[in-house]
Structure 1
């Protein structure tokens, strides 16, 4: 539904952007704005700015920007309507009835039917486990030492050995074959017709963060293949953007999360009191899942099986966590294979101790590297030291690299000066370590005149929103028609009109541009700041040069649009040039 501009403005103005973003991102006041690490890309130094006066956010690193509605849309993968509703609920604002257009209603109805079908299936599997036909499944869970309370907590169930029990049950509830198939619970072929996807399996309902059942995982009883079967992707189930157990783990107060391989590992850990455990959904750990975890914590402990496959998964997971800007550690489960087995044999206290001593990801990678070398053979040992030096080159920050060089030298009994020289040698050969910043020299990429014109225009728009009192001075020389392209002119028109009426709002202007790239560009127009202005003279010169630059770009554009055979071509060209010459020598100051 497209809400009225007045209602959107009421919702937006009732949700301070600093308060809302502060619930998701750690931001600190710096000057007139708040700064923090960008949640949309990996960075070590904060370039994410939140402006309370403009009610906008902008990342100077990746270019992401927008208002409070945009933030929720991007952060939580919401539609515009979903973000507005969430903010309206937060502010206690009642929204009108949802969009009742045929398309919107059909999409809502479709999703709701899929949620309802999954909920009914979860109930069905739950009661089958506790009935006579579910004895085999119950025996399996009892062997795995799960309590009745735990089985209930996770809604565990059983799919009968018959191939169409669930389909019959759901059809009796009024659902069609097509709907059951779209929910991922049935398949269809000529031989069997519509039949259950899951049968002869213990069932693990998968819930999203808001506790809705969106899919299932099923483990076969006996030696059938595949051992684990998961729901296919559906309009309500995206494996790469959900995690098993997250609906409970997100409320944990541990301060970190543990990600493991399987459903049973998560369930066993929760039963033992480790309620921060989650697992990926039958697929390898993804960047999308890492970004979900980042919403709730800045530290993740990897708890994969201690076999070769688990080690590979951990190494891959370390890279994904680094990419997402999350601090990672690795749980050492040896001599046991997985968390479930470890807890059963050594107990909760021993597992807690392993968590406290979880291994630094760098040293885990080095330990795996060491295991591939024969340390009793001098040649193999030297090769290990070389690989170690190459790996130390990955640290871009000199202080961090030096700390690791010292720690590695002590751990592996290497003379620290020898290791430092070896690292420097590989860095020099491969350019692996970022050199210290030096003044740029040689051939550099040149900005085009269009780039310079747009930058002047962005600077002027930002300056105006920062200091609205300057509008009367700017408007003497510049009009929206002086801006070089249609997007910039549209924004300038909105801003100039708002300033004339005394009710301008950058956050409101942003909502008029719904295309993602346009939205990003408009956000940048209100967040392009001047640097190195320290004196009044520098401020005056910058103000003059920006106004002149905008006017010049406008003149060049308007001249290019005139045709030489236009009777006014010469008059307008000469008049425009005279105005520019006059402006070039004019005294224009923001502080007069």
Structure 2
């Protein structure tokens, strides 16, 4: 679905960012900006700023930033279109109707019907648990330590002993057999007809991030099998891309999720006050789960069962989470099997201590592999250290690798230099380039140069939006295409255009981007801290150096890309370098 730039800007301009953010964050005015505690990470000193002048927000602590669309996208986990529609409703802007194809309309209607059926089924199960038929199931849940409030919050229910009552109930509400079957709530047999998929089970409604029921998990009462039964995958339920408890955990103020194995673990943790607990849905952790988690947090604490199967599941999950860009820690529960059992025996405070003592994921995996070797013999321990050294070579970043070398050396009582020597031997055997560290140090200087250039571009763009006189001077020496990277080029081009049209509007500029991460990056371009330069002379000198650095890099890149047979292009570059030499004598003046 597409809306014009004019519509998007109308919605944005009619939603003052200070008013919108004030509905979520307590703001205090300081100077011309507003400050408060960042809603996207825990902090004690306010570093979250909202500018009515720029119509943007930015956190100097975690880097979150953007315009009013970005805020709803990040806080409510909306897509750009969902944020646009919500803000249009808030401002009373009527969005033009979008035409659906017949196929799209049919699919949308089917999804909505399936959601209605799941909601009706959840209500049916909820009622059954709380009447006479559900007494056994209710006693089971209370014996597991769940309060009435917790059961109500999670919408727990009961599927009765008779295998067609839900089917009859849904038929009575007018739903067709085909749709009830597509919802995964019945099975159809030629001889026996339609029967409920779930019966004689405690029911756990599974909700999506927007609190809508999309499926169920059922725990059998008695000795039936399977012990746990989940809804099949449907048009609205993909178990590899949904997490149990996410609808509640997404609002946590913690910077991490507690990732568990089962429904009861999540519910027990939430009841104990750990409202950032989630679980995969009866399946091993997938790339889809990891990507979903990454939308909300950057760190995961794994709390799988402490038995051998739980350890194996932990080891399988860690590389998937790391590949998604998440850092991982492991909470040890010994001597208890799972979070539910631990909290019942030791309480919430002891569980908090286990979280504080959580082990780094890599170190946990090293410890877990000890069982594969005879650690009491010199040969076994040597083999173990060789394998550990091999795994240490997999870290690409030198700083990170050195940290783990020191940590492993300390843990196993070996000298760090001996471990590094063993790593080199393992690297040679695996055919890796040698010496590893020398190659990394060469890359380091390139990285520093790149980081310096990006910082110069960020600072210059910030300064240009703060002071029109700086823009007027800079444009004489730099064109938008002189900036490095597509994002910087695009933003510079839009700033230049807005100034030439007589109205700088950074918040409107962000409308050009629809991804949350792009909003964050663009916002950072307008909020680079400049207060480390105290005097006007220092600031003017820094401005001149930034312009020179950006122009020099632009000419270097143009030289690399030049076709050797392009003589006209070569002449233009020679002339540009002559101009660059003259630029070394100029200063960008700050006008008050």
Change (3 A) 1:584 1:317: closer
Tell me which residue corresponds to 1:329: 330
> Does 2:11 align with 1:7?
yes
Tell me which residue corresponds to 2:284: 284
Deviation of 1:546 after TM superposition, in Å, equals 6.0
Change (3 A) 1:218 1:106: same
5+ long unaligned stretches in structure 1 = 36-49, 446-453, 561-571
> Does 2:168 align with 1:168?
yes
Deviation of 1:508 after TM superposition, in Å, equals 1.5
Select the structure with the greater relative contact order (CA < 8 A; seq sep ≥ 6).
2
Change (3 A) 1:585 1:243: closer
- Three-state SS of the structure 1 residue aligned to 2:498 is helix
Q: Which of 421, 424, 436 does residue 425 from structure 1 map onto? A: 421
Q: Which of 565, 577, 591 does residue 588 from structure 2 map onto? A: 591
CA contact (8 A) 1:552 1:580 kept: no
Deviation of 1:172 after TM superposition, in Å, equals 1.9
Tell me which residue corresponds to 1:355: 354
Change (3 A) 1:118 1:585: same
Tell me which residue corresponds to 1:43: none
For 1:194 and 1:20, the matched residues in 2 are separated by 57
- Three-state SS of the structure 1 residue aligned to 2:205 is strand
Change (3 A) 1:330 1:69: same
For 1:126 and 1:435, the matched residues in 2 are separated by 61
Tell me which residue corresponds to 1:468: 468
> Does 2:263 align with 1:263?
yes
Change (3 A) 1:21 1:174: farther
5+ long unaligned stretches in structure 2 = 22-32, 448-453, 531-536
Task: Provide, for residues 158-186 of structure 1, a one-character-per-residue CA deviation record: whole Å limited to 9, x for no partner.
Answer: 22454443233223223334443443434
Change (3 A) 1:210 1:217: same
- Three-state SS of the structure 1 residue aligned to 2:204 is strand
- Three-state SS of the structure 1 residue aligned to 2:15 is helix
> Does 2:39 align with 1:23?
yes
> How do residues 112-131 of structure 1 correspond to structure 2 at under 5 angstroms?
112-131=112-131
For 2:539 and 2:130, the matched residues in 1 are separated by 78
Deviation of 1:69 after TM superposition, in Å, equals 2.5
For 1:476 and 1:254, the matched residues in 2 are separated by 48
For 2:388 and 2:480, the matched residues in 1 are separated by 59
TM-score for both structures, normalised by structure 1:
0.68
> How do residues 476-491 of structure 1 correspond to structure 2 at under 5 angstroms?
none
For 2:308 and 2:521, the matched residues in 1 are separated by 47
For 1:484 and 1:501, the matched residues in 2 are separated by 24
Backbone CA RMSD of aligned residues: 6.0
Deviation of 1:68 after TM superposition, in Å, equals 5.1
For 1:18 and 1:184, the matched residues in 2 are separated by 50
Deviation of 1:512 after TM superposition, in Å, equals 3.8
Tell me which residue corresponds to 2:403: 400
For 2:464 and 2:409, the matched residues in 1 are separated by 52
Change (3 A) 1:369 1:549: closer
Of 17-26 and 306-315, more deviation after overlay is shown by 17-26
- Three-state SS of the structure 1 residue aligned to 2:219 is strand
- Three-state SS of the structure 2 residue aligned to 1:284 is coil
Of 511-520 and 168-177, more deviation after overlay is shown by 511-520
- Three-state SS of the structure 2 residue aligned to 1:313 is helix
CA contact (8 A) 2:37 2:44 kept: no
CA contact (8 A) 2:386 2:426 kept: no
Change (3 A) 1:476 1:25: same
For 1:255 and 1:581, the matched residues in 2 are separated by 49
Of 374-383 and 508-517, more deviation after overlay is shown by 508-517
Q: Which of 86, 94, 106 does residue 96 from structure 1 map onto? A: 94
Deviation of 1:479 after TM superposition, in Å, equals 8.0
Deviation of 1:261 after TM superposition, in Å, equals 1.2
Tell me which residue corresponds to 1:315: 315
- Three-state SS of the structure 1 residue aligned to 2:422 is helix
Deviation of 1:5 after TM superposition, in Å, equals 2.2
- Three-state SS of the structure 2 residue aligned to 1:11 is coil
For 2:128 and 2:309, the matched residues in 1 are separated by 34
For 2:359 and 2:573, the matched residues in 1 are separated by 66
Change (3 A) 1:242 1:486: closer
- Three-state SS of the structure 1 residue aligned to 2:368 is helix
Tell me which residue corresponds to 1:440: 442
Task: Provide, for residues 312-340 of structure 1, a one-character-per-residue CA deviation record: whole Å limited to 9, x for no partner.
Answer: 11223444555544452322232x43334
> How do residues 51-200 of structure 1 correspond to structure 2 at under 5 angstroms?
55=56, 67=67, 69-70=69-70, 72-73=72-73, 78-85=78-85, 93-96=91-94, 99=97, 101-102=99-100, 111-131=111-131, 133-134=133-134, 137-138=137-138, 140-141=140-141, 144=144, 146=146, 150-187=150-187, 195-200=195-200
Deviation of 1:218 after TM superposition, in Å, equals 1.5
Change (3 A) 1:549 1:463: farther
For 1:476 and 1:396, the matched residues in 2 are separated by 41
Change (3 A) 1:70 1:182: farther
CA contact (8 A) 1:465 1:526 kept: yes
For 1:553 and 1:343, the matched residues in 2 are separated by 60
Aligned residues: 546
- Three-state SS of the structure 2 residue aligned to 1:229 is strand
For 2:387 and 2:553, the matched residues in 1 are separated by 54
CA contact (8 A) 1:386 1:422 kept: no
- Three-state SS of the structure 1 residue aligned to 2:229 is strand
CA contact (8 A) 1:460 1:546 kept: no
Change (3 A) 1:534 1:437: farther
